[in-house]
A and B are shown apart, each in its own frame.
Chain A
Amino acid sequence: MRSWPVVNSLGAMGKAIPGESLIPERPDGVRAVAVVRVPRSRAPVGVARVPVVWELTRRLPPPPPPAAPVFVDDTGRRGRWVAVAGAGTALLVLALVAVFWLSQAVHL
């Protein structure tokens, strides 16, 4: 019974030729679609008051490829521009400071 919903998916039913259902009829005459509609147990999963270690590693779907977080530029282009601008500014500043002090030092 547990395997029925998996084997007899609704998608497979949609592809079936009318009158030639892929869902085999069970001995008691109930088709799979009826099985799918059987309500599941409403008992909370895993709320048992005992410690249970679940190994879900293989049960969870693989995570989607990570989208770039806010501000992040994985191409590195922005970082290079900022680095060049920063280094240029720093060198310009150093040059200006050096020129200033040299211009004053010659009068000492």
Chain B
Amino acid sequence: VTLWVRSGTSSADPPVMKTRFRFPPRFFVAVVLIFLLINLLFVEAYANARFAPDQDRQPMNSQRRVPADALTGGALIRADGAGHASYRLPDRTLALTFDDGPDPQWTPQVLQVLRRHQVPATFFVVGSQVARHPDLARRLVAEGNELGVHTFTHPVLGDLPAWRRRTEYAQTQMTIVHATGVHTRLLRLPYSSGPDSIDDINWPLVTEAGRLGYLSVFSDADSRDWARPGVDAIVRSSTPADGRGAVVLLHDSGGDRSQTVRALDRMIPALRQQGWQFTTVSEGYRRAVAAAAPGSASSSASSPATVVLPAPADAPAAVEGWHGTALVGAVQAADGTVAVLWALLIAVGVLTLIRTVLLCGYAIGHARRRRSPTWSWGPPVTEPVSVIVPAWNEREGIAGTVTSLVTSGHDVEVVVVDDASTDGTAAVVAALNLPGVRVVRVPWGGKAAALNAGIALSTHPIVIMVDGDTVVEPEAIHRLVQPFADPTVGAVAGNVKVGNRTTMVARWQHIEYVIGFNLDRRLYETFDCIPTVPGALGGFRRMALLAAGGVTDDTLAEDTDLTIAVHRAGWRVVYEESARAWTEAPATVRQLWLQRHRWSYGTMQALWKHRGGLRDLGRPGRFGRRGLPVLALFTVLLPLLAPLVDIFAIYGFLFLDRAQTVVTWLAVLVLQVLTGALAFRLDKEPLRALWALPLQQIVYRQLMYAVLLHSLVTAATGGRLRWQKLHRTGQAAQSAPAGHLS
């Protein structure tokens, strides 16, 4: 896998590497967009994660510090630092209250029943729900109902610090003001019921709410509809037994509320017949206060309760309005973003699953066909072939490459094209004094120009291309050319393996190479759309090369570009697994980044360059019809969306069910390990190398995402990508099993 450097000029001198660190604007944009995504996910998690419907009630604690008259008094409690007062609705007066909404499914049904019976109600809304459905909140008010605060995320308030509680109230108030333009002074604590259930933890919350200007609303009759006990039970629980006024607790969200709707429809006319009146909580409070003679309410307040409801200690409506707009906008943007990401994640999952099934199925079938005793490409190909080795500063590995070629079991003409190396590459080859080897020095022009020079100067009808950092096995050339017995075959991809498995980065690439060569290429060959004959080891029929127009420097992935051109010239491209070569892979993250940036960007260039293949007809159009869409999907689109797996893994671990998230992540990992194991079995590689696969999920994959994004930005900006010479140590054959290269 030789890496070339190409400058933006046509100078004959190779470019000089710049090592000065820069922080390009594209990274700034990327960081900001990631920051935005983190914020949106945080808002989404905040608006959702703590939400738990009322059935998750907390156990009751001690009530020693709760005033006795508050426990036995009415459901409406006004308290502040100076005292408290409880009020009960007038006799035969009911205030229907609904918690946890608005809900797009059930709230309209509740409203329909209320409208039919001309009954007002009080809805204690959850702020995050109002932010999601402001239209429902508007409709509630427009139809004569009133709203109360039921916090923003429905948390257990006793577990929260004071600033969080204030935020919960204020944010709900903001969303109500944003949606309806009105304030509310009513508050119902989450998980609350009757005043007799107030405990030592809740009582300070009631007094705190009073200081903030809220009237705490409990209930006199708990329908317990959240338990879905049946319509009869809900009607029974919601009907006060003694004719005293009552606040009735119901729910219009948090689960299936069909029983509540039916119970409501039956309960209202029945109670009306019994002489009950329906009102809102605010109106009931006013009547209760007006009807109560001084001292008749169970009051110990230093100042008597006033008819006027207390004013919540919030910002002016105008300010609160735009604060609410910001909050609602953030919640809706977060909802929308997460919904889109979820949909994409599902698409990624489905595509990945389909791809895995196809890979495994077709790879096994391909391997069985090839290993069948009856399989043959045709008569043995024994004619001499030309081998071109383009080399630019390959001093470390070129001797091994050329030596392995001349000791090959096939008659070869080796042409080493030295692309103006400055490290004495040509001299190294010349010093070997090997028969059948020519060194051609050309002015510096890039890998494509070097390959073209080699093609022009070689003589045989079959041309093999081998990189200067690659060592071939003795039988590799002979095996590589056998498919040319089939006259329709124009190019053959060899099986390239990582030879320097000395670092973790190289080990990860080893896994990737084995999977790529033994699963992907088999599948692609089956569909006649192998996208790349690797530069490290590939064979071409000279006629196919000429028909394809030779090698061009239109793209940075000249091998992919050439392979697609061969396809479009009407030739078949096949894979020969037994033609093995060992190459030196980048051993550091930086080197890997440089290499993959070139590959990724080059593949995009090649796909774009050959987009006209979609309109090709007949056999040459087969690649355009099959290969281009598949490549675009699996080499660009799917990897581009793959980060969603990690994003949602982190999101799920932090904010959702951790066990479920971990199990899902592990299931995906097991699937990958099984896929990898199949590839290793097909390649007869020891499975022990797969131990590095789990670690690959943590660093390597993310690096590949970044490379792909970087390539997309490079393509969008139209900048010239500068190639970098990778550091070579000549260790291409280091990991080859004993005997493979002897």
Which residues of B, 449-468, contact A by the 8 Å Cβ criterion? 449, 453, 457, 459
A87 vs B21: C-alpha distance in the bound complex, in angstroms?
A: 20
Measured CB to CB, the closest approach of chain A to B398, in angstroms, equals 13
Q: Is A46 an interface residue (CB 8 A)?
A: yes
Q: Is A50 an interface residue (CB 8 A)?
A: yes
Using known A-B contacts A50-B435, A51-B434, A93-B32, determine if residue A100 contacts B26 with beta carbons closer than 8 Å.
no
Do A97 and B39 touch (CB < 8 A)? Answer: yes
Q: Is A17 an interface residue (CB 8 A)?
A: no
Q: Which of the segments A6-14, A21-29, A30-38, A69-77 contacts the partner chain?
A: A69-77
Contact partner, A97, options B36, B453, B553, B556, Cβ 8 Å: B36
Do A87 and B25 touch (CB < 8 A)? Answer: yes
Chain B: CB-nearest residue to A99 = B326
A contact residues around B609 at 8 Å (CB): 70
Interface centre among A72, A73, A89, A103 (most CB of B within 10 A): A103
Do B430 and A53 touch (CB < 8 A)? Answer: yes
Chain A: CB-nearest residue to B325 = A103
B contact residues around A93 at 8 Å (CB): 32-33, 35-36
Q: Is A83 an interface residue (CB 8 A)?
A: yes
A contact residues around B453 at 8 Å (CB): 56, 60
Using known A-B contacts A72-B720, A99-B326, A107-B170, determine if residue A53 contacts B714 with beta carbons closer than 8 Å.
no
A83-108 vs B, CB cutoff 8 Å, 1 = contact: the mask equals 10011011001100101100110111
Chain A: CB-nearest residue to B333 = A96
B contact residues around A103 at 8 Å (CB): 322-323, 326-327
A contact residues around B174 at 8 Å (CB): 107
B245-280 vs A, CB cutoff 8 Å, 1 = contact: the mask equals 000000000000000000000000000000000000
Query: Size band of the A side of the interface?
Result: 35 or more
Q: Is A18 an interface residue (CB 8 A)?
A: no
B632-664 vs A, CB cutoff 8 Å, 1 = contact: the mask equals 000000000000000000000000000000000
Q: Name B residues whose Cβ lies closer than 8 Å to a Cβ of A.
A: 8, 10, 25-26, 28-29, 32-33, 35-36, 39, 163, 166-167, 170-171, 174, 314-315, 322-323, 326-327, 329-330, 413, 426, 429-430, 432-443, 445, 449, 453, 457, 459, 553-556, 601, 604-606, 608-609, 713-720
A82 vs B429: C-alpha distance in the bound complex, in angstroms?
A: 47
A46 vs B457: C-alpha distance in the bound complex, in angstroms?
A: 8
A-B contact pairs, 16 of them (CB 8 A): A49-B435, A51-B429, A51-B433, A60-B442, A60-B443, A69-B554, A69-B555, A76-B718, A78-B718, A90-B32, A93-B32, A97-B36, A99-B326, A103-B323, A104-B171, A104-B326
Using known A-B contacts A56-B441, A78-B717, determine if residue A69 contacts B556 with beta carbons closer than 8 Å.
yes
B contact residues around A94 at 8 Å (CB): 32, 35
A108 vs B171: C-alpha distance in the bound complex, in angstroms?
A: 10
Which residues of A, 43-83, contact B by the 8 Å Cβ criterion? 44-47, 49-57, 60, 63, 65-67, 69-74, 76, 78-79, 82-83
A108 vs B167: C-alpha distance in the bound complex, in angstroms?
A: 6
Do A89 and B718 touch (CB < 8 A)? Answer: no
B contact residues around A97 at 8 Å (CB): 35-36, 39
Extra inter-chain contacts (16) besides given A51-B439, A72-B718, CB under 8 Å? A46-B457, A51-B433, A51-B438, A54-B438, A60-B443, A66-B553, A70-B554, A71-B715, A79-B717, A83-B25, A83-B717, A97-B35, A100-B39, A107-B167, A107-B171, A108-B166
Using known A-B contacts A57-B441, A71-B608, determine if residue A79 contacts B435 with beta carbons closer than 8 Å.
no
Do B32 and A47 touch (CB < 8 A)? Answer: no
B contact residues around A108 at 8 Å (CB): 163, 166-167
Measured CB to CB, the closest approach of chain A to B341, in angstroms, equals 17
Using known A-B contacts A51-B433, A69-B555, A107-B171, determine if residue A56 contacts B440 with beta carbons closer than 8 Å.
yes
B contact residues around A83 at 8 Å (CB): 25-26, 717
The 9 tightest CB contacts between A and B, nearest first, are A73-B718, A107-B170, A70-B605, A90-B32, A79-B717, A86-B29, A49-B435, A78-B718, A103-B323
A contact residues around B39 at 8 Å (CB): 97, 100
A contact residues around B170 at 8 Å (CB): 107
Do B33 and A90 touch (CB < 8 A)? Answer: yes
Do B449 and A71 touch (CB < 8 A)? Answer: no
Measured CB to CB, the closest approach of chain A to B271, in angstroms, equals 40
Measured CB to CB, the closest approach of chain B to A60, in angstroms, equals 6
Contact partner, B330, options A54, A76, A100, Cβ 8 Å: A100
A54 vs B714: C-alpha distance in the bound complex, in angstroms?
A: 39
Chain B: CB-nearest residue to A64 = B10
Measured CB to CB, the closest approach of chain B to A56, in angstroms, equals 6
Chain B: CB-nearest residue to A86 = B29
B contact residues around A50 at 8 Å (CB): 435
A51 vs B163: C-alpha distance in the bound complex, in angstroms?
A: 83
Contact partner, A100, options B326, B457, B713, Cβ 8 Å: B326
A contact residues around B437 at 8 Å (CB): 51
A contact residues around B601 at 8 Å (CB): 71
Contact partner, B10, options A56, A66, A90, Cβ 8 Å: A66
B contact residues around A76 at 8 Å (CB): 718
Chain A: CB-nearest residue to B604 = A71
A contact residues around B433 at 8 Å (CB): 51
Measured CB to CB, the closest approach of chain A to B568, in angstroms, equals 15
Measured CB to CB, the closest approach of chain A to B455, in angstroms, equals 13
Do B718 and A69 touch (CB < 8 A)? Answer: no
Do A46 and B25 touch (CB < 8 A)? Answer: no
B contact residues around A56 at 8 Å (CB): 440-442, 453
A contact residues around B440 at 8 Å (CB): 54, 56
B contact residues around A47 at 8 Å (CB): 413, 438, 459
A contact residues around B25 at 8 Å (CB): 83, 86-87
